[in-house]
Chains A and B, each alone.
Chain A
Amino acid sequence: MKYLPLLTAILALLPGTIRADEGRIAIYQPGTIDRPGSYVLNRDIVVSDGDALVIRSSQVDLDLNGYAIRATGGSGALIRIDDGFTSIRIRNGRLLGNDQFDGVVYGSTGQVPPIALRLEDLEGRDFRYGVMVQSAGSFEILSSDFSSCGSCVVLLSPTEPTGRIVDSRIADAQYEALLLVQSGMEVRGNILSTAPLSNDFVERPGVQMMGHGGIVDGNLLVSIDNPPDPTAGIVLAAPGVQVTNNVLDRHSNGMVIHSDGNHIAGNVIRRNGFNGANDGNGIWMDNLSTDPAAGNLIEVNLIDASLQCALTFGRFSADNAWRANMRFANGVGPVCLSGTNNTDEGGNL
């Protein structure tokens, strides 16, 4: 009987958080994480409106433990990280939206301090934004699957961090699978697909690189036909990106290059324009009269079955070079050339 007060006190803690085994803190309902530590979900969490979990602390490791955080109605974020908190790791479970929810969100504005965020072994679907991060110092998505999103992964960081998205499937994005303003990103070994639904005639990219530097290597990019909405596999809007050894299938234009100093090599780019939308170029390069796309090297690519041209250099492209590419079955021609001082350096087939 003398233990009754102690047991009563323990039971009184049940509605909040309790210590699971291994000293981790168990989570079993919507709420806020406001202290550093290791947290583990111990059942599915269902939310009908508003944010399911809010992280209001740095140094948080959240193990979903194979469980799901699920939205049944309303809108919000399944996991929202409040401004200014960093060193967050979320892993090992499911995030299930309802098309009105976002998956993982950080930052109320672009001015928030950069976060260090790692997402690993997650499966998520049916979002407006799968992952939306306003500012990151370090950002990783590893071995995860986000699908059926408006935009699956959006990284709007103005800082100079590094990050990587590897070994993942980012699929069926209505707008873009990856929109990366962040510089220095590694995008490797992913399956990326776009499924435009908006009927607004705006080009929908698999990967849009808006931060300079970075590497896009060894990815499979496909688009899901929905004319008249055009798609592109990879869009480069910032300079200095290495785009190698990717396979791109059935986009309106395989790659669209607006920037300078990129290296595009070893890719297979097929069935360009076969999605019923406009265009149909393997690689299309153009920008503005005041800032032409310049200094890009395009080599050793296989560009097959383009309704227009394998390589198209627009009016506002300059000083680009191509060599040792193989181009087959193009409707208009292998190279549609305008612009200034774009040169064939030989060895093309």
Chain B
Amino acid sequence: MKRILFCACVSFGIVGGIARADQGRIPVFQPGALTQPGSYVLTRDITAASGIPIVIQASNITLDLNGHAITGGSSVPRLIEIQSPYTDIRIENGRLIGGIKGIHMNAPAGNPGTSVSIHAVDFSDQIGDAVSIDNALSFEMTSCSITNVDYGVIVSGPGPSDPRASIRIVGNRIAQVSLDALTLLWARSALVYGNVFSEVSMRGMYIAGISEALITKNVFGSSVSTGTSGILMVDASGLILDNTFRGMETAVWVSGSGSRIAGNQFVGPPAAAGGSPSAVILGSSGYNGDRTLIELNKIDMHSGCGLRFSTAAHDNIFRLNTLRGSGGLAVCDNGTGNTDAGANVY
């Protein structure tokens, strides 16, 4: 009988150092490298005091953290490393705690591009970044939580000259970030939808070198106020629609051409917080802010300016905004050719 049971176990593949977990997935229960494509599942918590707990060295890998946690000490450089040039990686359903970085990929220039998807992962207490991905051809992050980190998510694409590069950030919560919650660089398109950014100490979103962004239905909040911004766009354009901003010195700062900023609600920091608050700033040193349409926003800044056009801002139009309660000035225009197209409420 014992011999028969042994044979049965061999038939089900429990040999060779890799045991099939439930539903045929490959279990991961200790630090190591994933070197073959396939579906992996964490079967217990992993704690590391040094080294990198999980290294991904193959394409087409799904790693289900299965509700478990990977925890790293302060000398763990990253909890999960995706090595170049591997792509089509999905990581989901668990917790990443501590370490210097949570998930990291450093792909050199010339890499064919990486596709990474992260879903329902809770990040906390990283000394550096929760997520940093270089050379992302496609990056998606949905239903995740990030708490108490220096940087939340840093994603850079191969550049707007590679028109395939796209980023989707949907339905996440990012809180207690001491620097930038979301940094998106050098991609053709970025969709940021339905996220909550709270207790931001520096910038909610920093977007640079992205041709088209759609940023909608997000909530941005800060209690620090001085030196904070909700969205900073440099050399980027798009649609900023139906977001809520509260307590930031600058809610939206756009240096680029042809954006539409509409339907947002802005509540500034208390007047006693000081600084130079603005709901919207257009243009900055070295970058124009032009051909922007600002409409249908509700702006209540307590102090400073509701709309601020820098000397580099020109040919912008605003209309149908409610600008009462700014405390300072509704509009501060240092640019040229910026037009009140009417129906603003002062």
Contacts and interface: CB of A to CB of B under 8 A. Distances in A.
Contacts of A191: 166, 168, 189, 191
B117 interface: yes
Interface string A90-105: 0001101000000000
A167 B117 CA distance: 13
Interface in B49-98: 60, 62, 64, 88, 90
Interface stretch (A38-46, A52-60, A312-320): A38-46
A11 B8 contact: yes
Nearest to B320: A324
Contacts of A143: 142
A66 to B, nearest CB: 3
Interface in A207-252: 218-220, 222-225, 245-247, 249-250
B193 interface: yes
B295 A68 contact: no
A148 to B, nearest CB: 9
A21 B27 CA distance: 15
A21 B22 contact: yes
B60 A268 contact: no
A20 interface: yes
Contacts of A302: 258-260, 293
B60 A247 contact: no
A247 B62 CA distance: 31
Given A123-B117, A220-B191, A249-B211, A167 B138 contact: no
A300 interface: yes
Contact of A40 (B8, B23, B119, B216): B23
B219 interface: no
A11 B40 CA distance: 25
Given A189-B193, A268-B238, A247 B214 contact: yes
B332 interface: no
Interface stretch (A1-9, A111-119, A255-263): A1-9
A93 to B, nearest CB: 7
B213 A66 contact: no
B167 to A, nearest CB: 8
A11 B64 CA distance: 29
A300 B296 CA distance: 10
A218 B191 CA distance: 9
B315 A328 contact: yes
A333 to B, nearest CB: 16
Contact of A42 (B20, B90, B315, B317): B20
B19 interface: no
Contacts of B142: 143, 167
Interface residues of A, number: 63
Given A65-B24, A169-B140, A304 B212 contact: no
B170 A167 contact: yes
Given A7-B4, A42-B25, A195 B164 contact: yes
A328 B211 contact: no
B8 A189 contact: no
A220 B295 contact: no
Contacts of A247: 189, 212-214, 238-239
A222 B189 contact: yes
Contact of A66 (B25, B189, B238, B257): B25
Contacts of B339: 349
Interface in A171-192: 171-172, 189, 191
Contacts of B250: none
B166 A268 contact: no
Nearest to A18: B12
B170 A189 contact: yes
Question: Which of A147, A223, A328 counts the most chain B CB atoms within 10 A?
Answer: A328
A210 B193 CA distance: 27
A193 interface: yes
B38 interface: yes
A245 B217 CA distance: 12
Interface in A295-323: 300, 302, 304-305
Nearest to B8: A7
B23 A65 contact: yes
A326 interface: yes
Contacts of A20: 22-24
Interface string A1-45: 101100100110010000011101010100000000000111110
Nearest to B262: A266
A300 B211 CA distance: 21
Interface in A314-349: 326, 328-329, 349
B119 to A, nearest CB: 8
Nearest to A275: B163
A270 interface: yes
A145 B211 contact: no
B37 interface: yes
13 contacts: A20-B24, A65-B39, A66-B38, A167-B142, A193-B164, A220-B189, A220-B213, A249-B189, A268-B237, A300-B295, A304-B257, A305-B258, A328-B258
Interface of B: 1, 4, 8, 11, 20, 22-25, 37-40, 60, 62, 64, 88, 90, 115, 117, 119, 138, 140, 142, 163-164, 166, 168, 170, 188-191, 193, 211-214, 216, 237-239, 241, 257-260, 262, 291, 293, 295, 315, 317, 319, 339, 341
List the 3 shortest-distance A-B pairs measured between CB atoms, nearest first.
A42-B24, A66-B62, A66-B39
